Amino acid sequence: MDVHAVGVCGSDLDFYLGRRPAPYARYPVTPGHEWSGTVTAVGEGVSASLIGRKVVGEGIRNCETCAPCRAGETNLCAAGYEETGFTLPGAMAPTLVLPARLLHTLPPDADLTAAALLEPAACAAAAVLKACPLPGSRAAVIGSGTLGLLAAQLLGAFSPIELTVVGTSPDRADLSHRFGATGYRTWDRASGLSDFDLVIDAVGGTSTASAATSLLRPGGHLVLTGIPAQGAEGLDPARVVARQLSVGTAFGASSGAWSYAVSAFSTARLTPLELVTHQLGIAEFERAMALTGSGDPRVGKVLLHPQSS
């Protein structure tokens, strides 16, 4: 594939700074796991009809034969962890080679810049599908970053009666509403929130996981995404049991979650382009990392374009 755009996220920053846990990193390697591009050549046994198609691709190299893969949990492949951009060559290069079975084709008129956000969208889809939302439910998303707002937009398709985003900056309120939120609160104004049917924690911090349980009604459903620091303490088991809360997790995205996200994007139910705030040439890699780690609420998704310097 010729790579059109590649996204930069917190995992890329951790990888760049050497903070990613050893089983999930291998150096040296070209980074980049969120990408979009166009097929320019195919290998033996792959249909030539793929040439010229706009595509995105799964990063985790699943084996397709182990028990988790056969159950559809391809992100939990028992054959061992291998992922584009972390242990295998990634998309921060002009071209990328990937097994054809991991590709998802896009419509001919697809915006490849927006499509570069389909990897985090697939992760958001995994969390939303794990939450099992029902029409008329009260839902909340913790986190107003890329993952949180993608989750909010996907949740909106299930017609919740209320969809509240909880973030850290009041500057994210308008954008949250444009992504489907019916309400937005910062943490310092969230004390009155309660009795939600489901909460998705799109931050991955110990404090947010603990706080999320206070937002749920008894019998409510919490889905955690992201990986907190090892050894961190967060959820209170007594609270979880006494309120009979259901806690689920989402790590990466299965092939099914990818298909769901690509379908939502291809039918305009998922419109992520507005999340992009910076587009840089590949020579500005270090600036992209600095922006991603800046903590500035005005910085959204940062994209690199490997075809330009």
Q: Is residue 265 part of a domain?
A: no
User: pLDDT tens, 200-229?
Assistant: 999 987 788 888 899 999 999 999 997 766
Q: Identify whether residues 25 and 84 lie together within a single domain.
A: yes
pLDDT > 90 fraction of the chain, expressed in percent and rounded: 86
Contacts of 31 (CB under 8 A, 6+ apart): 12, 15, 16, 85, 86, 90, 92
Q: Identify whether residues 26 and 110 lie together within a single domain.
A: yes
Q: Which residue has 């010729």 as its token pair?
A: 2
Q: Are 75 and 253 in contact (CB under 8 A)?
A: yes
Q: Say what the pTM is.
A: 0.96
Per the structure, the complete domain to which residue 235 belongs is given by 122-250
User: pLDDT tens, 170-208?
Assistant: 999 999 999 999 999 998 898 889 999 999 999 987 788
Q: Identify whether residues 238 and 284 lie together within a single domain.
A: no
Q: Is residue 92 part of a domain?
A: yes
CA 158 to chain CA mean position, Å: 19
Nearest to 12 by CA among 83, 62, 79: 83
**Neighbour-count burial of 266, counting CB atoms closer than 10 A to its CB (0-12 exposed, 13-18 middle, 19+ buried):** middle
Q: Is residue 267 part of a domain?
A: no
Q: Identify whether residues 86 and 130 lie together within a single domain.
A: no
28 preceded by a cis bond (ω within 30 of 0): yes
User: pLDDT tens, 117-134?
Assistant: 999 999 999 999 999 999
Q: Identify whether residues 75 and 126 lie together within a single domain.
A: no
Residues 278-300, mean pLDDT to the nearest whole number: 96
The pLDDT value recorded for residue 233 is 67
Count of Cβ atoms closer than 10 Å to residue 231 Cβ: 6
What CATH number is associated with residue 158? 3.40.50.720
